């Protein structure tokens, strides 16, 4: 129970981060690419179609801004709703959540580097820090890492070596390549409807 409670705030932030973009353009190739950065020793993998989630809860995207319905704003509270509506920079297509050892990881795609980095720095953490350039085009800000158009959000801090290892997995080292059930997650027709 304690592990769940420790992980819950990260999960809530991760879910909010996934809904920062204007439209859902999920595709099998996006899901496959994300799953190919999931290591074999992963204990759990979940693929989320955030476009469907936004649609189901009634959140609209207008001119790159998220518009929450009045009932959702009321349920979230004024402060939380205001912060939520400031989020930008993440594509609302597929996101992958997985457990690696004792660390929960969310990975997805960045749609607007500047907006994403600004949101993470100013709104998510708001501590006046700076993005740090690591090696091999990996940039890190506290528990967030970005390389190209992919981001990783970790519950227990960022190890640049670990992230780069995931980003550069060989086909035979990824969970996607060796596990038929994980590969099936990439098939849109088999998505669960809610």
Q: What is the pLDDT of residues 127-179, one digit of tens each?
A: 888 999 988 899 999 999 999 999 999 998 888 899 999 999 887 787 766 55
Per the structure, the count of domains in the chain is 1
Report the DSSP beta bridge partners of residue 65: 62
Domain assignment present for 117: yes
Domain assignment present for 135: yes
Domain assignment present for 64: yes
Angle at 46 between CA 41 and CA 48, to 5 degrees: 145
Q: What is the pLDDT of residues 84-138, one digit of tens each?
A: 788 888 887 788 999 998 899 999 999 889 999 998 998 888 888 899 998 889 9
Domain assignment present for 164: yes
Contact yes or no for 132/140 (Cβ under 8 A):
yes
pTM: 0.74
Domain assignment present for 194: no
Domain assignment present for 109: yes
Range of the domain at 159: 2-189
């Amino acid at each position: 129970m304690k592990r769940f409670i420790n992980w819950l705030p990260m999960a809530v932030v991760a879910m909010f981060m996934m809904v920062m973009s204007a439209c859902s353009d999920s595709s099998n190739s996006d899901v496959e690419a994300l799953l190919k950065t999931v290591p074999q020793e992963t204990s759990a993998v979940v693929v989320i179609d955030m476009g469907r989630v936004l649609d189901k809860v009634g959140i609209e995207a207008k001119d790159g801004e998220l518009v929450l319905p009045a009932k959702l704003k009321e349920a979230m509270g004024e402060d939380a709703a205001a912060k939520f509506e400031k989020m930008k920079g993440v594509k609302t297509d597929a996101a992958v959540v997985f457990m690696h050892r004792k660390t929960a990881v969310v990975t997805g795609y960045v749609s607007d580097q500047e907006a994403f980095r600004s949101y993470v720095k100013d709104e998510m953490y708001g501590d006046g820090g700076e993005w740090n350039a690591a090696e091999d085009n990996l940039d890190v800000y506290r528990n967030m890492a970005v390389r190209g158009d992919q981001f990783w959000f970790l519950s227990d801090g960022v190890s640049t070596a670990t992230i780069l290892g995931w980003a550069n997995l060989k086909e035979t080292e990824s969970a996607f390549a060796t596990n038929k059930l994980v590969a099936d997650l990439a098939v849109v027709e088999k998505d669960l409807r809610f």
